[in-house]
Chain A
């Protein structure tokens, strides 16, 4: 079986309980969720979830069909079968004594990340990009001591005019 990552977007009625139904479905049917993001969509009353899941083609097909069975799910799109833009944001609180800061800023610059808060002994770095990029910057900041890390999970859309 060929296990790959799939990025799916799910347009839902913004009803209480929808997130629970979607997340519950993944749990109950043994589909895994690598990440899930939810927010408003272009249409009032509808939210869009972007879910990253790992599985073979069969699983992906089942995930999509089972999602469609949820009454409040309006549209399901397998983004990753198209050219897509996928982005994630991370906030990384890293140990940074004044003497170490230039070195850290070097890493931040290389990744076109930004420092969004400066404390007496630490910095908060904000990185935006593909999950791989976030992984990479995290790896490079590790030696300085990461105090706290939070990632939004992937949000994504298909490139070009196709909706």
Chain B
């Protein structure tokens, strides 16, 4: 497992320089504070209200900023950076339209508990509230989708606010924090004073669990005969993979990982059952429905996992481990709540954990896995999207960092890419944001310069942020960009086929660009494949080519994602489709 240093160790010299009590502008103070927080790279886009900030960057050799081509690209990149490294992602935009262009990205990060510090400029303090040029109340607009936000009134408050923002973003249940800086504040001169320790009275996340609750859980495990673990993003976010593996090995409990939990547990482990829910595996869904004990570890019973709530895990006693007490009992009635960080809970549980009485159950699970694996009807003529994902999986041994956009391809990657490592999977789960896949890969690559980053997109979503090809080309960011081109908004087409009786309404993507030419127009190498032989060759060439490459796979248009559970059904009422 390769987890990067959580905080970059600053060179002592630089640190001293940054801490000097000079009289500096708010902008310089901002940059110093970001460097002191260990920020390696900021993604952003300038404009009137942040001119002082961008001026302070000019000629500053220590500060690294990547200019994207759209603010949405910047924030998704910061998000990909954060998810793949565990560090706080940072982006900057100007006031008004710059700030509002960040809204989708903020909501994306909020829904998936991703730590971001989002910096926006605003009009000068005196002009706030006057509908000044490029004024938007971004603090107000983003209130429901930020963990906390600040409107900075004085330059001397910046060090404290920035330090608090990083702390809040990356502790407890993580999330985006917005800092709105009026233009005059970014120009104001003040003596720089390094921030002291964070002291926020109303903010004390419960990290250590209650021992009695952990013991209750362990007792329930010993008594259980058909236990199941449902592991989510909380495992990845608290860096608890190793603890989880130990827990599973000790207790002998079959485990399913949610969309955001993928990579949090090695897919090669014999007790892993794949993903649950709407497009989950037969085994995972059946196991949940028949379990006598369901232990949710850092997952939040999202409706795409539970589907019809009453009727979800009907026979199971529910244990819910979560850092956010508000998640407990929100959707599913919980018998044993355990509030705390997943890592701390498992650390406490592991030394005392005993085996469940699960031998028979495990055998039953193994039989289900064998009898009902994920499968698709392969074709010798048409290229199947699942085949493309398998090809990528085989050639990268499940070890690449993979980002996806939203739609059918996302589900196929979740199903057919066999993740081995935590933080190697970057996808928008909660908000399901199209346009996220490609720019998030740029951020992931910036945070992991030595790793292979593959970004898998639909032909629809690719067109929502394709302008960022420029960033890859000009900075030689070697992301391998995959476009699974089925010529339609595939996931919408699938719903219209299955639920709306083949009434295809506005899903045809005719008029899309030639993706190879599009890549080449930006100076990125482009390749196309329409059958298996071409796919293997093109993909190999992409892997062998240094620098960014876009590969377009022209695939079967009418392929569906199976299994599928439709709305209003319980998760064991699966449409198995072509696969069975």
- The interface of chain A, by Cβ under 8 A from chain B, is 12-13, 16-17, 20-21, 24-25, 28, 58, 61-62, 65-66, 68-75
Are B151 and A71 touching (Cβ within 8 A)? no
Chain A residues with Cβ below 8 Å from B324 are 69
Are B202 and A73 touching (Cβ within 8 A)? yes
Are A20 and B326 touching (Cβ within 8 A)? no
Q: Bound state CA distance, A13 and B200, in angstroms?
A: 10
Q: Which of B142-150, B234-242, B253-261, B521-529 contacts A (4 or more CB under 8 A)?
A: B142-150
Residue-wise, chain B 167-186 has the 8 Å CB interface mask toward A (1 for contact) of: 01000010000000000000
Chain B residues with Cβ below 8 Å from A24 are 143-144
- Ordered by A's residue number, 30 sampled pairs between the chains whose C-beta atoms are within 8 Å are A13-B202, A16-B151, A17-B139, A17-B140, A20-B140, A20-B143, A24-B143, A24-B144, A25-B144, A28-B144, A61-B329, A62-B326, A62-B330, A65-B326, A65-B328, A66-B326, A68-B325, A68-B326, A69-B324, A71-B147, A71-B168, A71-B200, A71-B202, A71-B203, A72-B148, A72-B202, A73-B202, A74-B201, A74-B202, A75-B202
Are B203 and A17 touching (Cβ within 8 A)? no
Are A71 and B148 touching (Cβ within 8 A)? yes
SS class, residues of chain A in contact with chain B: helix
Q: Bound state CA distance, A61 and B202, in angstroms?
A: 18
- The interface of chain B, by Cβ under 8 A from chain A, is 139-140, 143-144, 147-149, 151, 168, 173, 200-203, 324-326, 328-330
Which of B143, B328, B330 is in CB contact (< 8 Å) with A17? Answer: B143
Chain A residues with Cβ below 8 Å from B148 are 71-72
Chain B residues with Cβ below 8 Å from A70 are 202
Give A159 Cβ to nearest chain B Cβ, in Å: 26
Q: Bound state CA distance, A75 and B173, in angstroms?
A: 19
Give B175 Cβ to nearest chain A Cβ, in Å: 10
Chain B residues with Cβ below 8 Å from A62 are 326, 329-330
Are A13 and B329 touching (Cβ within 8 A)? no
Give A68 Cβ to nearest chain B Cβ, in Å: 7
Chain A residues with Cβ below 8 Å from B140 are 17, 20
Chain A residues with Cβ below 8 Å from B200 are 71
Name the CB-closest residue of B to A27.
B144
Chain B residues with Cβ below 8 Å from A68 are 325-326
On whether A21 and B143 interact (CB within 8 A), knowing A16-B151, A71-B203, the answer reads: yes
Are A17 and B149 touching (Cβ within 8 A)? yes
Give A42 Cβ to nearest chain B Cβ, in Å: 15
Name the CB-closest residue of A to B173.
A69
Q: Bound state CA distance, A20 and B139, in angstroms?
A: 10
Chain B residues with Cβ below 8 Å from A61 are 329
Are B329 and A58 touching (Cβ within 8 A)? yes
Name the CB-closest residue of B to A16.
B151
Give A16 Cβ to nearest chain B Cβ, in Å: 7
Q: Bound state CA distance, A24 and B329, in angstroms?
A: 22
Name the CB-closest residue of A to B145.
A28
Chain A residues with Cβ below 8 Å from B325 are 65, 68
Given A25-B144, A62-B329, A66-B326, 16 more A-B residue pairs with CB atoms under 8 Å apart are A12-B202, A17-B139, A21-B143, A24-B144, A58-B329, A61-B329, A65-B325, A65-B328, A68-B325, A69-B173, A69-B326, A71-B147, A71-B203, A74-B201, A74-B202, A75-B202
Chain A residues with Cβ below 8 Å from B328 are 65
Chain A residues with Cβ below 8 Å from B202 are 12-13, 70-75
Give B332 Cβ to nearest chain A Cβ, in Å: 12
Give B125 Cβ to nearest chain A Cβ, in Å: 13
Chain B residues with Cβ below 8 Å from A20 are 140, 143
Name the CB-closest residue of B to A76.
B202
Q: Bound state CA distance, A71 and B198, in angstroms?
A: 13
Chain A residues with Cβ below 8 Å from B168 are 71
Name the CB-closest residue of A to B201.
A74
Question: What 9 A-B pairs come out closest when comparing CB atoms?
Answer: A65-B326, A74-B202, A71-B148, A71-B203, A28-B144, A65-B325, A73-B202, A66-B326, A74-B201
